[in-house]
Structure 1
Amino acid sequence: MNSVRPGRLGIGVIGAGKVGAVLGAALRAAQHAVVGVSAVSEASRERAELLLPGVPVLEIPEIIERAELVLLAVPDDALPELVAGLAETGAWQPGQLVAHTSGRHGVSVLAPAQAKGAIGLAIHPAMTFTGMSLDLTRLTDCAFGVTAPRTVLPIAQALVVEMGAEPIVIEEQDRPLYHAALAHASNHLVTIAAQAAQMLSSAGADQPERLLGPLMRASLENALASGEGALTGPVARGDAGTVRVHREALLGYELEHGSTDIRQAYEELARATAKRAFERGLLKDAQATEILDILSTRSTPEDPQ
Structure 2
Amino acid sequence: MNAPHQTEPRDPSARPARLTVGVVGAGRVGPALARALQQAGHRPVAVSGVSDASRRRAERMLPDVPLVPPAQVLELADLVLLTVPDDALPGLVQGLADTGAVRPGQLLVHTSGRYGASVLDPARRAGALPLALHPAMTFTGTEVDVQRLAGCPFGVTAPDELRLAAEALVIEMGGEPEWVAEANRPLYHAALALGANHLVTLVAQAMELLAKAGVEHPDRMLGPLLGAALDNALRSGDAALTGPVARGDAGTVAAHVAELRRHAPGTLSGYLAMARTTADRALAHGLLRPELAEDLLVVLADGAGADAGPGGRDLNGTEGPEGGDGR
TM-score range, shorter chain: over 0.9
Q: Distance in 2 between matches of 1:287 and 1:232?
A: 15
Q: Distance in 2 between matches of 1:57 and 1:252?
A: 53
Q: Distance in 2 between matches of 1:194 and 1:110?
A: 37
Q: Distance in 2 between matches of 1:165 and 1:37?
A: 22
SS in 2 for 1:104: coil
Which residues of 2 match residues 179-198 of structure 1 at below 5 A? 179-198=189-208
1:287 to 283, 292, 312: 292
Note the C-alpha offset of 1:175: 0.5
Q: Distance in 2 between matches of 1:111 and 1:295?
A: 48
Report the number of matched residues: 295
Structure 1 match to 2:270: 265
Note the C-alpha offset of 1:40: 2.2
1:275 to 269, 275, 280: 280
SS in 1 for 2:29: helix
Question: Does 220-229 or 80-89 show the bigger shift?
Answer: 220-229
Report the residue type matching 2:205 in the other structure: Q
The answer to whether the 8 A contact 1:248-1:299 is kept is no
- The C-alpha deviation readout for 1:205-230, integer Å capped at 9, x for no partner, is 22211211111111111111221111
Matched, 1:120 2:130: yes
Report the residue type matching 2:118 in the other structure: S
Structure 2 CA distance for partners of 1:304 and 1:196, relative to 1, 3 Å:
farther
Structure 1 match to 2:85: 75
The answer to whether the 8 A contact 1:251-1:303 is kept is no
Structure 2 match to 1:33: 43
- The C-alpha deviation readout for 1:24-61, integer Å capped at 9, x for no partner, is 00001111111211122222222212221221111111
Matched, 1:200 2:205: no
Which residues of 2 match residues 33-112 of structure 1 at below 5 A? 33-112=43-122
Structure 2 CA distance for partners of 1:161 and 1:42, relative to 1, 3 Å:
same
Q: Distance in 1 between matches of 2:114 and 2:73?
A: 25
TM-score under structure 2 length normalisation: 0.87
Runs of 4+ aligned residues of structure 1 deviating over 4 Å after TM superposition are 302-305
Matched, 1:299 2:314: yes
Q: Distance in 2 between matches of 1:20 and 1:304?
A: 52
Gaps spanning 5+ residues in structure 2: where? Answer: 1-15, 303-312
- The C-alpha deviation readout for 1:195-254, integer Å capped at 9, x for no partner, is 111111211122211211111111111111221111100111111111111112122224
Structure 2 CA distance for partners of 1:205 and 1:164, relative to 1, 3 Å:
same
1:227 to 213, 231, 237: 237
The answer to whether the 8 A contact 1:144-1:166 is kept is yes
Q: Distance in 1 between matches of 2:104 and 2:82?
A: 17
SS in 2 for 1:206: coil
Q: Distance in 1 between matches of 2:190 and 2:325?
A: 31
Q: Distance in 1 between matches of 2:220 and 2:147?
A: 26
Report the residue type matching 1:84 in the other structure: Q
Report the residue type matching 1:79 in the other structure: L
Gaps spanning 5+ residues in structure 1: where? Answer: 1-5
- The C-alpha deviation readout for 1:163-191, integer Å capped at 9, x for no partner, is 01100000011111111111111111111
Q: Distance in 1 between matches of 2:211 and 2:65?
A: 47
Q: Distance in 2 between matches of 1:116 and 1:105?
A: 19
